Each structure stands twice: as structure tokens, then as C-alpha cells.
């Protein structure tokens, strides 16, 4: 499988290195838009594009994948509602895996959250805390939003992003972002009840876990029909 990497940052470099080391995979090219690179300039045609770049590159990705009938694995976060709709339109033509987080642990955590929240919601307050390195631009993280959606599948809570001032807590889920140092990624969902606290936490030790998941998603697209898929589809069918 020939894989093109869109994004020349730290995540793109880790992914490119793993592709070159993995049997059955070949790096079609690493495209760095910040250096003026484009997907059209790839030396060889890709079987799939994995995007770890910036929302500004969605147009380039869509044009290339539509023209080449090439599946896409989208790992970029921070999209607007309009851009998310555009990803849905792209998925009508090609297989697209779109997830805020590609680690196995986080996606297992998401499933656990969706299953236990209905059992705890009447007696426990829910808070989400995420931590990332000081170069991450979007806050809260796409993963925190994904976990929030898993905890509030019926849209029954007010979503409070950070707190300031004086206010009484209502039926709400608080989401809090920390940025500093070289934290690869840490997400905690806290269930705080009367005299007991349950915390479900995931800590990323390196960027390799995201690259590994993205490669698994790339393999999934090889036999997939056009459509919009999540990592749950990749992992659990």
C-alpha cells in the first residue's frame, strides 16, 4: 500500500518513519504545505492519504482524493462545522476515516464512557480534563469533544468550557484544557459522587500510538466502500 502523508510536522515525521519500517507499506511522499508542497506534486500516486496537518488543507485533500479516487484518513482536528460538512460530502465519493484520536486506548475509553455514563449520571457530576503540549493550537482538544459526545449522547447536559466567576453548578459537563511543555496528550473523565470519585484516564506516551492507529485505519480503507467511518468502525466493525 502506497501511503501519502499530508503534514510535515512532528506527527507527520513519526508517521512517515513508521510507514518506511512497516512491511507492506510504502511512503508515496510526505507533503508539507508550510513548505509550499502539494499533493499534486507527489512522485507516485497514493493508495491512501493520511492527513495530520491543518484544517486549511482540507480543500487540497478533497481535490486530490476526488480526482484520484483515493481514500483518506483524516486525523486533523479543529475543523469548523462547515468543514466537517465538507468531509461528509467527500465521504459520499470515497472511503473516509475521520476521528479526533487514532489511539486504541482512547477509542476503548470512548466506548466505556458511553456505556457507564447512563449508570452514573443521576448521582455523579461529570468533568473532563485534557492536557497537551504548548504548541497545540485548538482547545479543547478534538478528543475531549469526542469523549464529551460519548458522555452526553442524548444531549441532556449543558456543556461548560472552562469556568470563571460565580455560578451554581447545574446539569452540566465541564471541559477544561491545559497547555504546557511537551505533554503528548492526557485525557481524564471524572465522575464525582457523594463520598466517591471514579476517574477514567488515558495518557499518551508518544505520538507513535496515533500513527499506528492511523495506519490501521489506512488498511481498513483498502476494502471499504465510499462512506464516512470512525475508528470504532475500524476497530469493532
With CA atoms as reference, report the closest residue to 93 among 195, 228, 186.
Answer: 228
> Residues near 41 by Cβ (< 8 Å), separated by ≥ 6?
29, 31
With cell 500513527, the residue in question is 211
pLDDT tens digits along 198-220:
999 999 999 899 999 999 999 99
For residue 237, pLDDT over 90 is answered with no
- Show the CA angle centred on residue 93, arms to residues 153 and 89, nearest 5°: 45
With cell 471541559, the residue in question is 175
**CB of 6 closer than 8 Å to CB of 49:** yes
pTM above 0.85, yes or no: no
Strand partners, 191: 126, 198
Active-site residue flag, 187: no
Segments in the chain forming alpha helices (H):
10-21, 58-68, 81-90, 104-120, 142-151, 208-221, 231-236
Q: What is the pLDDT, as a whole number, of residue 42?
A: 87
Q: What's the grid cell of residue 203?
A: 495518557
**Which position among 2, 68, 136, 216 bears the catalytic label?**
136
Instruction: For the chain, give the longest Cα–Cα distance.
Output: 61
**CB of 231 closer than 8 Å to CB of 107:** yes
Order the strands of the 158-161 sheet from edge to edge: 158-161, 172-179, 125-132, 186-193, 196-203
pLDDT tens digits along 85-141:
999 999 999 999 999 899 999 999 999 999 999 999 999 999 999 999 999 988 999
Residue 160: C-alpha distances to residues 53, 112, 164 (Å): 28, 22, 10
Active-site residue flag, 176: no
With CA atoms as reference, report the closest residue to 201 among 114, 113, 141.
Answer: 113
The mean per-residue pLDDT over the stretch 68-86 comes to 95
For residue 25, pLDDT over 80 is answered with yes
Q: What is the pLDDT, as a whole number, of residue 225?
A: 97
**CB of 13 closer than 8 Å to CB of 52:** no
Q: What is the pLDDT, as a whole number, of residue 109?
A: 97
- Relative to beta strand 48-51, strand 72-74 is parallel
Q: What is the pLDDT, as a whole number, of residue 44?
A: 77
For residue 43, pLDDT over 80 is answered with no
pLDDT tens digits along 180-198:
999 989 999 999 999 999 9
CA dist 110 and 184 (Å) reads: 18
Amino acid at each position: 500500500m502506497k501511503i501519502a502523508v499530508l503534514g510535515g510536522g512532528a506527527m507527520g515525521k513519526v508517521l512517515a518513519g513508521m510507514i518506511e519500517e512497516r512491511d507492506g507499506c510504502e511512503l508515496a511522499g510526505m507533503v508539507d504545505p508550510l513548505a509550499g508542497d502539494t499533493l499534486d506534486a507527489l512522485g507516485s500516486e497514493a493508495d491512501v492519504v493520511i492527513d495530520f496537518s491543518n484544517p486549511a488543507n482540507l480543500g487540497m485533500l478533497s481535490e486530490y482524493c476526488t480526482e484520484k479516487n483515493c481514500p483518506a484518513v483524516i486525523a486533523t482536528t479543529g475543523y469548523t462545522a462547515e468543514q466537517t460538512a465538507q468531509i461528509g460530502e467527500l465521504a459520499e465519493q470515497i472511503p473516509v476515516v475521520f476521528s479526533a484520536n487514532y489511539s486504541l486506548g482512547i477509542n476503548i475509553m470512548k466506548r466505556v464512557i458511553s456505556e457507564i455514563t447512563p449508570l452514573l449520571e443521576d448521582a455523579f457530576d461529570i468533568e473532563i480534563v485534557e492536557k497537551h503540549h504548548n504548541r497545540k493550537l485548538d482547545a479543547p482538544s478534538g478528543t475531549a469533544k469526542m469523549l464529551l459526545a460519548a458522555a452526553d449522547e442524548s444531549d441532556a447536559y449543558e456543556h461548560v468550557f472552562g469556568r470563571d466567576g460565580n455560578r451554581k453548578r447545574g446539569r452540566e459537563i465541564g471541559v477544561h484544557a491545559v497547555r504546557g511543555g511537551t505533554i503528548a496528550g492526557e485525557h481524564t473523565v471524572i465522575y464525582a459522587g457523594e463520598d466517591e470519585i471514579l476517574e477514567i484516564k488515558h495518557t499518551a506516551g508518544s505520538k507513535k500510538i496515533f500513527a499506528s492507529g492511523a495506519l490501521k485505519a489506512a488498511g481498513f480503507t483498502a476494502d471499504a466502500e465510499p462512506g464516512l467511518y470512525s475508528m470504532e468502525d475500524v476497530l469493532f466493525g
